[in-house]
Structure 1
Amino acid sequence: QLKTNHSVWEQLDLTRAMVMGEAAVVEIDNFPRAIILIYLVIAFSPFGYYLAIHIVAEKERKLKEFLKILGLHDTAFWLSWVLLYVSLIFVMSILMAVIATASSLFPQSSAFVIFLLFFLYGVSSVFFALMLTPLFKKSKHVGIVEFLATLVFGFVGLNIVLLEDFPKSFVWILSPLCQCSFLIGVAQVMHLEDYEDGATFANINAGPYPLCISLVLLVLDSIFYLLVAVYLDQVIPGEFGLRRTPFFFMKPSFWSKHRKNYKELYESSINGSLSFSEIVEPVPSEFQGKEAIRISCVQKTFRKKGETVEALRNLSFDIYEGQITALLGHSGTGKTTLMNILCGLCPPSDGFVSVYGHRVSEIDEMLEVRQIAGVCPQSDIHFDILTVEENLSIFAAIKGIPQNDLIQEVQKVLLDLEMQPIRDNQAKKLSGGQKRRLSVGVAVLGNPKVLLLDEPTAGMDPCSRHIVWNLLRSRKAKRVTVFSTHFMDEADILADRKAVISQGMLKCLGSSLFLKSKWGIGYRLSMHIDAYCNTEATTSLIRQHIPAASLIQENDEQLVYTLPLKDMDKFAGLFSDLDTHSHLGVITYGVSMTTLEDVYLKLEVEAEIDQADYSVFHSQQAQEEMDTKSLDDMEQSLLMLSEAKAPAMSNSALWKKQVSTIAKVHFLSLKRENKCVR
């Protein structure tokens, strides 16, 4: 140094040491940096957490399946959620990239490269949470699992960058985990910060583990998670909805949508349908050939606490266009199960159900049914945070009603159901009856050809019930209306045909007059009596005229007798004698015909007897005559398929409308929920 007059230390300072050979991954041996890596991994976890719990919560409320019943495409449902959270991640990624490059974390790196790394990881974390949602039925579980999975996989990725001798082959095996790919990318950025001029597009391919590989892996992970999420949603059995077979995508029918042979479909339905028998009233000739809904030998079983429960037993009958059909029965008789089958919420265990020739147990055919159907489920389905008018507008858009007609259609429904005074009220603040009216309003939007209403007037006051009745009567022509109820007066007034279901079996089907004359107990003679009434003498007098009269109710103020229909010609003589025998203590009397409720109660008693010997009933059903409809009638039914209402929009336009509409709903819900929290 003294001879050359040069500083050795300056030369040593300019000397750079290089390690021969490259490690499998970038090594991070700084503990503070390891903490930063873990923080960055979980930074986007809240987005996945809230996305997962919101989607599963909608599944719990049956909202997702109801939206699908209205015609919402699966891809539109998924994309609406993705758009919302990707937008939030986009904003957060910009902020994080600006902070990281402006601070001492990544001061030399390109802000855009850092943004790209953060954004792609955020998107992949959202799709990762999306992939978990089909596996869970409870929202509180999926959120916890999503966070723990992110944390665990984050520590796995941390081990990759910390261990010097971590096998490179394992890195590729763990590449489907977005947390690992992201941490390797961040570690590479730190390496470039230490030994290069930071992470830029110029050196994106440099280093022991190029940053471009991490970016590509994050993109591939997102695609992989999305495909798995859609697949699991299609095949995992749930409480509601139809499910595909595990290898559905390998079937030619999935890729080539060809028109079904509806002639064969109807022939198979006819061969298994119930013929007109003593429990089924023949329909008038003008309805022959107008079978819109065909139910043939339908059975539905459930597993409950290790036991098999039969909800429906060999149910067979037809429902006609231009008529209102009521399903009668008390709770637990199978009405809702049958409605769920008609809506596509659950498939029958056995048998055949078709709506205008489309089998409801086939997913692709059920999509055709949903284009012409309006559904009011038993539970109220709506968006709580939105107003009545906003709910109707949202559901109208999902159904594909054109924007030019949407406002007019919403106003018409508000007017028909007299909901103008509550149009600006939030759905969650409505009373039970008002919520039911809103559900009915959603069902009738777009004037669908098929209306399926499960106890539509439950919880309504008498005035609201009459409003709904008038609406259904006004829309009866050239449409199919099916509703379930346990209000006998409602069925008697509103329905053209009543199907009484008990113990999952069809007990009778026909008009009120048919049911009353077939299963009625005759007339009721009600007497208002005083304290000195001679019951024995009164009964003796009545039986002098009508020997088959029976005393069914007796108290201090009233006597009630049943009088057979066949003895109606003897009523005049009986009434004359009652008027002359004033000493009997009868103050007033009156005669009324059998009510539908009397018929129902009588059938319930018979059903309890039949329950003890179901096998006999089953064999009798199997031996009934087959329907002998002519070929001309069948062809007339087939022609009705062409009359079904076509969707108001093209498929692509409807899909775009649904995506934007559902995304708008999610945004409004998020905005108003935050406002409520404040």
Structure 2
Amino acid sequence: MVLSWIFSVALLVKSIVYEKQERLKEQMKIMGLTNGIHWVAWYTVSIVLIAPSIFFLCVIFKHAKILQHSDPSIMGLLLFAFSFATTGQAFLFSVFFTKANLAACCGAIFYFTLYLPYAVVNQYEQTMTDWMKGIACLLSPVAFGLGTTYVSRFEEQGVGIQWDNISKRSAHSIEYTVQSLPDDTYSLSRCIGMLFLDGILYCLIAWYKEYVFPGKYGMPKPFYFPFTKSFWCGSSTAAHNTPDQPESGSVENVQCEAEPTHLKLGVKLQNLRKVYSAGKKLAVDNLSLNFYEDQITSFLGHNGAGKTTTMSILCGLFPPTSATLYFLYYLMMPLPFQQARSG
């Protein structure tokens, strides 16, 4: 049953990475989509697609007399917990790839590989302690495999898995219907709990990796960012007495239209500099610019002048080498674009 989910995992990983590959995710971020809403949306889509399969499997288990003694609602809970963990696992796979087809192939291989340790756990289960099983169950396919093993043992005993014995130990085989294994205190309820824990851990690792190593697009955060106050409470600081005119040292006596200082200053960019690490190519050199409310600003220039790079930095796609940016008189550089929108 675990292996039957390979196609679903590969398809989900491919769909998520395809958004990244085509920069659809970044476009949605520019429009105000947050990372949290993005992942919740994918989780909702996955569960909605999987839920009918879980329902029909429970019906088949019961009416086809495959698990005629067990409560189908418990089987539904076990399958839902496994789908929760599998979805988190697909999220984790997706953050390591930028090509959709490669991600689908590798995701399926990784998923299959994580199931292989269950054969070892099943072989040496009688000699494994609870904490050993707990560590093994950090792999969701192993936790699900152990859970189905406990279901089959109760089914062999003719009592099936019920809500009153879901936390009880099971006999190792049909010959031992009364006495359980001497050191076997693991149960189906623990396996279900571990599946939910696995799903949460996978999502947390994916969340952390996406912030610290966002890939080609995005503003990377330091590895300790979860322990900073600025991440949870915001880092914007009011910029009092911010000058509206370009700083000294800028080019003067240039014939150009005077700035509309009677309008409210929306965005002030000072000394933007961007140097790409590959080849040390200078893309933007000390650009200072003001954006005023009720005006439409456009960039003109030859190819390679830095127009796209500047807009990408303002939108949070690329980190600047150095810059100071004020958004509505709040210091916002470096910034993810969502923070600028909420400023």
Same fold (TM over 0.5): yes
Change (3 A) 1:193 1:273: farther
* Cα offset, 1:316, TM superposition: 2.3
Contact 2:238 2:331 in 1 (8 A): no
Which structure 2 residue ranges, 5 or more long, are not aligned? Answer: 171-183
Of residues 314, 335, 340 in structure 1, which corresponds to 2:312? 340
Of residues 241, 257, 262 in structure 1, which corresponds to 2:218? 241
Aligned to 1:194: 156
Contact 2:275 2:282 in 1 (8 A): yes
Of residues 154, 179, 192 in structure 1, which corresponds to 2:141? 179
Contact 1:234 1:244 in 2 (8 A): yes
Q: Which amino acid aligns with 1:370?
A: R
Partners of 1:258 and 1:302 in 2: CA distance: 26
Of residues 250, 254, 260 in structure 1, which corresponds to 2:237? 260
1:331 equivalent in alignment to 2:306: no
Partners of 1:94 and 1:283 in 2: CA distance: 68
Of residues 47, 51, 60 in structure 1, which corresponds to 2:12? 51
Aligned to 1:167: 128
Partners of 2:17 and 2:247 in 1: CA distance: 39
Partners of 1:361 and 1:280 in 2: CA distance: 30
Name the % identity: 26
Change (3 A) 1:44 1:359: farther
Matched length: 327
* Cα offset, 1:258, TM superposition: 6.9
Change (3 A) 1:351 1:158: same
Partners of 2:341 and 2:72 in 1: CA distance: 49
Q: Where in structure 2 are the equivalents of 1:311-460 lying within 5 Å?
A: 311-363=283-335, 366-370=337-341
Aligned to 2:77: 116
* Secondary structure, aligned partner of 1:317: strand
Of residues 195, 199, 203 in structure 2, which corresponds to 1:218? 195
Partners of 1:288 and 1:46 in 2: CA distance: 61
TM-score where L is the length of structure 2: 0.86
* Secondary structure, aligned partner of 1:221: helix
Contact 1:117 1:215 in 2 (8 A): yes
Change (3 A) 1:166 1:303: farther
Contact 2:236 2:331 in 1 (8 A): no
Aligned to 1:297: 271
Of residues 269, 276, 287 in structure 1, which corresponds to 2:261? 287
Change (3 A) 1:341 1:294: same
* Cα offset, 1:104, TM superposition: 5.0
Change (3 A) 1:359 1:68: farther
Change (3 A) 1:257 1:316: closer
Which structure 1 residue ranges, 5 or more long, are not aligned? Answer: 1-39, 372-640, 642-678
Q: Where in structure 2 are the equivalents of 1:501-512 lying within 5 Å?
A: none
- Can you list the C-alpha shifts for 1:273-294, whole angstroms capped at 9, x where unaligned? 764603363616x525744332
Q: Which amino acid aligns with 2:326?
A: S
TM-score where L is the length of structure 1: 0.45
Change (3 A) 1:359 1:141: farther
Structure number with greater Rg is: 1
Q: Which amino acid aligns with 1:143?
A: A
Contact 2:239 2:326 in 1 (8 A): no
Contact 2:236 2:330 in 1 (8 A): no
Partners of 1:53 and 1:211 in 2: CA distance: 32
Change (3 A) 1:339 1:271: closer
Change (3 A) 1:196 1:50: same
Change (3 A) 1:164 1:342: closer
Change (3 A) 1:134 1:273: farther
* Secondary structure, aligned partner of 1:327: coil
- Can you list the C-alpha shifts for 1:558-589, whole angstroms capped at 9, x where unaligned? xxxxxxxxxxxxxxxxxxxxxxxxxxxxxxxx
Kindly report the root-mean-square deviation, in angstroms, between the aligned alpha carbons of the 2 structures.
2.5
* Cα offset, 1:219, TM superposition: 1.2
1:65 equivalent in alignment to 2:26: yes
* Cα offset, 1:319, TM superposition: 3.6
Q: Which amino acid aligns with 2:196?
A: V
Partners of 1:157 and 1:290 in 2: CA distance: 64
Partners of 1:43 and 1:95 in 2: CA distance: 15
Partners of 1:349 and 1:320 in 2: CA distance: 25
* Cα offset, 1:144, TM superposition: 1.6
* Cα offset, 1:127, TM superposition: 1.0
* Secondary structure, aligned partner of 1:294: strand
Partners of 1:136 and 1:100 in 2: CA distance: 37
Partners of 1:256 and 1:299 in 2: CA distance: 28
Change (3 A) 1:167 1:103: same
* Cα offset, 1:56, TM superposition: 0.9
Partners of 1:338 and 1:273 in 2: CA distance: 22
Of residues 72, 78, 88 in structure 1, which corresponds to 2:39? 78
Partners of 2:296 and 2:159 in 1: CA distance: 77
Q: Where in structure 2 are the equivalents of 1:20-59 lying within 5 Å?
A: 40-59=1-20
Aligned to 2:206: 229
* Secondary structure, aligned partner of 2:287: strand
Contact 1:347 1:361 in 2 (8 A): no
Contact 1:273 1:317 in 2 (8 A): no
Contact 2:246 2:288 in 1 (8 A): no
Change (3 A) 1:59 1:358: farther
Q: Which amino acid aligns with 1:261?
A: A
Q: Which amino acid aligns with 2:323?
A: G
Partners of 1:276 and 1:330 in 2: CA distance: 20
Change (3 A) 1:343 1:257: closer
* Secondary structure, aligned partner of 1:223: helix
* Cα offset, 1:324, TM superposition: 4.1
* Secondary structure, aligned partner of 2:277: strand
